[in-house]
Amino acid sequence: MRTFRDTHPVRRWQRISYATLCLALLVPVLLAACGGNDNGNTPTATATSASGALTPTAAPENTPTTAPEAPSATPTTPPAPTTAPATPTSAPTSEPTSAPATPTAPTETLTLSVYFIRDEKVGTAHRVVPHTLQVAAAAMEALLAGPTEEEAAAGLTSAIPEGTRLLGVSLTNGIATVNLTKEFESGGGSLSMGARLAQVVYTVTQFPTVEGVLFALDGELVEVFGGEGLILDGPRDRSDFEAFTPAIFVEAPAVGDTVSGTLRVWGTANTFEAAFMVTLRDADGEIVFEEPAMATSGTGTRGTFDLTFDLDPTLSGDATLIVWESSAKDGQPINVVEIPIIIGDEG
């Protein structure tokens, strides 16, 4: 038989609440009897889920779940390093003190021509210089430095007075103005004056952008040059110095050049009927070859030539290139130019 206590809803709720209360009071007692929280920290707050089970409340983001230790009254001294840092002996610089680990690209170079005097005529020499956009100035600086010992031994000299310095080279509408110091017009007669002008004109007009040359001394344009009174009333080019140009003018090879495999000989000539001879002798003076050649014009008109000769691959060492003209009168060699060269060993 059901009684009022069993069926009344209030009584039933009171029994459930009383059981829940007893359970809530019993849990701390059981935890205390078992030794409490394992880590000794304050228990994490709990929340009741919809099902009535106990679940831990998630800690807020970036917040530790345990209380931080109280800071010490005095800061802890960090351990001293076992080795004291090295003291620099000098102030640091922005430049490395040693070569970089990766190799650098080789410096680019240019081969330029400079023109000296041989037997009162213009003769070519070559210079290898670091790559530059100021090619005319670089060639002029090399010219003013004069011939090397090897070139001097081969008969090349300079009519430019020692102490002459380059002040600048400018180019306007194909006309280069070469500005030199006053020393350029000092000393020498008309032959020396003409030769030094020819050296400069030939050196600067090797570049296709230069059609003519004006001269300036210490910044002042020159119209009458030197004590001999040479008239320079306008730009000068190579044709103005035909008297200083050899009948067979070899641009390449120059004194001391190294060739290998083939020998290219090129330049200009003004010979009888445009004919001349090309001879190559070895270090013992023996003829390697001797060939007739022709320029594009002659007999009063300067022409060009560009010749290529195959070389014996076993040939190497010092050699001499000789260009010459056979005299129309008696067949003897005239207008002879000798150029010492080196033949490389291809093997």
What phi and psi, each to the nearest 5 degrees, are found at residue 274? 65, 10
Q: pLDDT tens digits for 292-347?
A: 999 999 999 999 999 999 999 999 999 999 999 999 899 999 999 999 999 997 54
DSSP-assigned states of every residue in 74-135: SPPPPPPPSSPPPPPSS---SS-SS--SSPPPPPPEEEEEEEEEETTEEEEEEEEEE--S-H
Q: pLDDT tens digits for 219-268?
A: 999 999 988 789 999 999 999 999 999 999 999 999 999 999 999 999 99
33 pLDDT above the threshold of 60: no
Hey, what are 16's tokens?
């459930």
Q: pLDDT tens digits for 122-174?
A: 999 999 999 999 999 999 999 999 999 999 999 999 999 999 999 999 999 99
Hey, what are 3's tokens?
């009684």
Which residue has 């640091």 as its token pair?
A: 92
If you average pLDDT over residues 42-70, what whole number do you get?
36
Q: How far apart are CA 274 and CA 303, in angstroms?
A: 8
Q: How far apart are CA 217 and CA 182, in angstroms?
A: 5
175 pLDDT above the threshold of 70: yes
Q: How far apart are CA 291 and CA 194, in angstroms?
A: 34
28 pLDDT above the threshold of 50: no
Q: pLDDT tens digits for 188-209?
A: 899 999 999 999 999 999 999 9
> What is the Cα gyration radius of the chain?
49
Please give the pLDDT value at position 228: 78
CATH hierarchy code of domain 248-343:
2.60.40.1930
Please give the pLDDT value at position 106: 55
177 pLDDT above the threshold of 50: yes
If you average pLDDT over residues 47-69, what whole number do you get?
36
Q: pLDDT tens digits for 89-127?
A: 333 333 333 333 444 445 799 999 999 999 999 999 999
Please give the pLDDT value at position 70: 38
Partner residues linked to 177 by β-bridges: 170, 214
Q: pLDDT tens digits for 212-222?
A: 999 999 999 99
Please give the pLDDT value at position 227: 82
If you average pLDDT over residues 43-62, what whole number do you get?
35
Does 260 or 6 have the greater pLDDT score? 260
CA angle 65, 70, 72 (to 5 degrees): 145
Partner residues linked to 321 by β-bridges: 280, 339
Please give the pLDDT value at position 87: 37
Q: How far apart are CA 210 and CA 219, in angstroms?
A: 20
